[in-house]
């Protein structure tokens, strides 16, 4: 345009718009009208307004396109950064320059309240229309609804974590029924203890039968007392062994409390009173 000596209409239109603001809003008597404007006032004013709207539209479209394109990859925030940059350069910077101009020329300014009020209402309406525009921001992700009532399951008998008979582990979010096995632990020492006690009971039963045949009442009484004590020990050991299998107390959905799936923890030792790996959400959601 410069080579063809065609005037820069944007610069002319913006200059004329700034002249009108100084004269009819700020009341500056020394406001200078741009040259080559006579007879083209309406056209230049319309061009200045339309070119500004066009620039804002293109800026908005580019920011929105970048935002929408990058949002599925988790980089939608870059669109927000671009938006802040555009707001700063297109709105905040001109406002700062405007107030600097007023401060510099404050002695010659005589604001015309009626015109200024109309301009403020016009700018406020446009700003409201822009800021009230809905920009959809979505983040795709998994969502699990948990129950308000939660049954935290603790280890009441320490042991080593193992899979079930099918080699599987309960998973986070898996629906379960009351009485269903959630976690199975293993304690070789306790299992051996139960086996040894049962073997010892069998040996004492044989000895008691032999004492009965020999009609030795004293030996029978001693063996009977011994057998009773061993049976109590065996019962206690079996109860401890049974607690190695943790079952669901209610119908619900498993919520793991570990940072990784249970299958990655196979063979790990779970101590007493550890909130092993699951809270069970039951009841209404």
pLDDT in tens, 27-59: 767 767 676 677 777 777 777 778 888 887 888
Sequence-ordered alpha helix ranges (H) in the chain:
9-24, 41-70, 77-87, 93-104, 113-131, 188-213, 217-242
pLDDT in tens, 72-92: 777 777 777 887 887 787 778
pLDDT in tens, 213-241: 887 778 888 888 898 999 999 999 999 98
Cα–Cα distance measured from residue 215 to residue 221, given in angstroms and rounded to the nearest whole number: 11
Per-residue pLDDT at 132 exceeds 80: no
Residue 191: closest CA among 244, 241, 233: 241
């Amino acid at each position: 345009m410069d080579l063809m000596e065609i005037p820069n209409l944007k610069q002319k239109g913006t200059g004329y718009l700034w002249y009108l603001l100084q004269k009819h809003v700020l009341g500056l008597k020394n406001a200078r009208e741009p040259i080559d404007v006579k007879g083209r006032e309406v056209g230049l004013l319309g061009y200045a307004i339309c070119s500004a709207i066009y620039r804002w539209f293109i800026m908005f479209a580019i920011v929105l396109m970048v935002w929408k394109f990058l949002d599925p990859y988790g980089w939608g925030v870059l669109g927000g950064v671009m938006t802040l940059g555009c707001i700063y350069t297109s709105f905040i910077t001109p406002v700062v320059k405007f107030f600097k101009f007023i401060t510099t020329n404050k002695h010659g300014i005589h604001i015309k309240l009626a015109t200024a009020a109309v301009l403020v209402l016009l700018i406020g309406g446009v700003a409201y229309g822009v800021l009230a525009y809905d920009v959809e921001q979505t983040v795709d992700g998994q969502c699990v609804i948990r129950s308000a009532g939660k049954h935290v399951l603790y280890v009441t008998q320490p042991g080593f974590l193992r899979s079930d008979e099918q080699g599987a582990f309960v998973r986070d979010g898996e629906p379960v029924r009351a009485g269903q096995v959630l976690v199975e632990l293993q304690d070789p020492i306790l299992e051996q203890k139960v086996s040894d006690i049962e073997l010892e009971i069998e040996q004492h039963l044989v000895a008691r039968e032999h004492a009965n045949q020999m009609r030795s009442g004293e030996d029978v009484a001693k063996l009977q007392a011994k057998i009773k004590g061993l049976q109590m020990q065996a019962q206690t050991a079996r109860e401890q062994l049974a607690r190695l299998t943790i079952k669901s107390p209610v119908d619900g959905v498993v919520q793991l409390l570990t940072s990784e799936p249970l299958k990655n923890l196979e063979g790990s030792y779970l101590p007493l009173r550890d909130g092993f790996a699951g809270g069970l959400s039951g009841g209404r959601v």
